[in-house]
Amino acid sequence: MASPTIPHEEVTLRHHFANDEQQKDASTIGMWVFLVTEIMFFGGLFLAYFAYRQAYPAAFASASNKTNLWLGAANTTVLICSSLTMAMAVHSAALGKRKLLVAFLVATLLLGGVFLGVKAYEYHDKWVHHEVPGAHFECEGCVDAGHAPLFFSLYFGMTGLHATHMLVGFVILVILIVQSAKGKYTAKWHTPIEMFGLYWHFVDIVWIFLFPLLYLIDRSKTGLK
């Protein structure tokens, strides 16, 4: 923590930057550029999803009925709430309210934990029902079983990649909680909190795309004739 006699800038301004504003701008642009790369990363999977859904609509429609709609919806709610708590954390940091900041960060962590817990349950459930692609794949009641594994591969690939991003977020969140508790972030400088907020919102948005594609589409068709 900066002592009263040392200007704050000297503690947090890195030597190659001319001033705080340049440093903050650089961090912000950097994080947005990084998120663009993440969009391209997930983009490849979305492309594969659309290509195969278009090629095998019957298989995808029936396989997507195997996802648990209520768990998916619950998870969506949980994740949106965690984005809210994260936004509140950033707001608290901007107001210099250390205790609130820590509280909201912890809330975000807990909500994220609920999400991952539900996901783990879903994965386990799929494993038990042999809906994991591979040598032992069996899809009960799936239409066009030859192409059904494609849906499940994409399900695991996309949600798995998303979950990995959440786990990385967790690790960073823990570090931020510890640092916040020590008072490292002030109203004047809390850039890491803001940057992490951007990342967390991005992870949330990816889920908001995944949920309709994997859980909602073709739910009304109870399988084709």
Partner 1 sequence: MTMEPRSFQLFPDSASNFAPSVDGLYTYMVVISAFFSLLVAFLIVFFAIKYRKRPGQGVPAPINDHSIGSMILEIAWSVIPLGLSLVMFAWGASIMFTESRPPKDSLNIYVTGKRWMWKIQHLEGAREINELHVPVNRDIRLTMTSEDVIHDFYVPAFRTKADVLPGRYTTEWFRPTKVGDYHIFCAEYCGTKHSGMIGWVHVMTAEDYDKWLAQGSGEGSMAEEGESLFRQLGCANCHVKDGHGRAPNLYGAFGMKVDLADGSSVRFDEAYTRESILYPQAKIVAGYDRIMPTFHGLISDEGMLKLIEYIKSLGDPNGTIQEKDLQSEPSNIQKTGTMMPDQSEMPKAPAAKTPAAPRAAASTTPTGTQQ
Partner 2 sequence: MITAPPPVKVTKNYLNEKTGLKSWLLTSDHKRIAVLYLIVVTAFFALGGVFAGLIRLELATPAGDLFESNTYNKVFTMHGILMVFFFLIPSIPATLGNFLIPMMIGAKDLAFPRINLLSWYIYMTGGVFTLYVLLTGGVDTGWTFYTPFSSSYSNGYVVAAGLGIFINGFSAILTGLNFIVTIHRMRAPGLTWFRLPLFVWAHYATSAIMILGTPVIAVTLFLLVLERGLHIGFFDPAYGGDPVLFQHLFWFYSHPAVYIMILPSMGVISEVISTFSSKKPFGYTFIAFSSIAIAVFGFLVWGHHLFVAGQSIYAGLVFSVLSYVVAIPSAIKVFNWAATMYKGQVRMETPMLYAIGFIGLFTVGGLTGIVLASLGMDVHLTDTYFVIAHFHYVMVGGALLGYMSGLHFWWPKMFGRMYSDVWSKVSAVLVFAGFNLTFFPQFLLGYMGMPRRYHVYPPEFQVFNVLSSAGASVLGVGLLLPAIYLTWSLKYGELAPPNPWGATGLEWQTQSPPISENFEVTPVVTTEAYDYSTVQEVVHIG
Contacts with partner 2, residue ranges (CB under 8 A): 15-18, 22, 25-26, 29-30, 33-34, 36-38, 40-45, 47-48, 51-52, 55-56, 133-135, 146-147, 149-150, 153, 157, 161
Q: Which of 51, 37, 43, 218 is nearest to 143 (CA)?
A: 218
Identity of the residue, 137 or 170, whose beta carbon is nearer to partner 2 in the bound complex? 137
Q: Which stretch binds partner 1 (CB under 8 A): 102-110, 141-149, 190-198, 203-211?
A: 141-149
**Residue 52 in tokens:** 């195969």
Compare residues 143 and 195 and give the one whose CB is closer to partner 1.
143
Beta carbon nearer to partner 2, 17 or 170:
17
* Closest C-alpha to 188, from 33, 11, 32, 5: 11
Question: Residue 36 or residue 51: which is nearer to partner 1 going by CB?
Answer: 51
- Per the structure block, which two tokens stand in for 69? 């709609």
Using rule CB under 8 A, residue 147 touches partner 1: yes
Complex with partner 1: residue 208 or 224, whichever CB lies closer: 224
Name the residue nearer to partner 2 (CB basis): 48 or 106.
Answer: 48
Instruction: Note the helical H segments in the chain.
Output: 8-12, 20-55, 57-64, 69-94, 98-128, 148-181, 191-211
Q: Whole-number minimum distance, CB 58 to partner 1, in Å?
A: 6
Shortest approach of partner 1 to residue 220 CB, angstroms?
A: 13
| CA pair distance 142, 56, nearest whole angstrom | 12
Select from partner 1, partner 2, none the partner in contact with residue 37, using the beta carbon and a kind-dependent cut-off of 5 to 8 Å: partner 2
Chain position carrying tokens 């704050």: 8
Write out the DSSP string of 173-223: HHHHHHHHHTT---SS--HHHHHHHHHHHHHHHHHHHHHIIIIITT-SS-S
Q: Are 130 and 138 in contact (CB under 8 A)?
A: yes
Stretch that binds partner 1, among 37-45, 114-122, 149-157, 217-225 (CB under 8 A): 217-225
Per the structure block, which two tokens stand in for 93? 């940091």
Stretch that binds partner 1, among 55-63, 157-165, 169-177, 197-205 (CB under 8 A): 55-63
SS3 7: coil
* From candidates 49, 56, 196, 211, binder to partner 1 by CB under 8 A: 56
d(CA 5, CA 174): 30
Residues that bind partner 1 (CB under 8 A): 56-59, 141, 143-147, 222-225
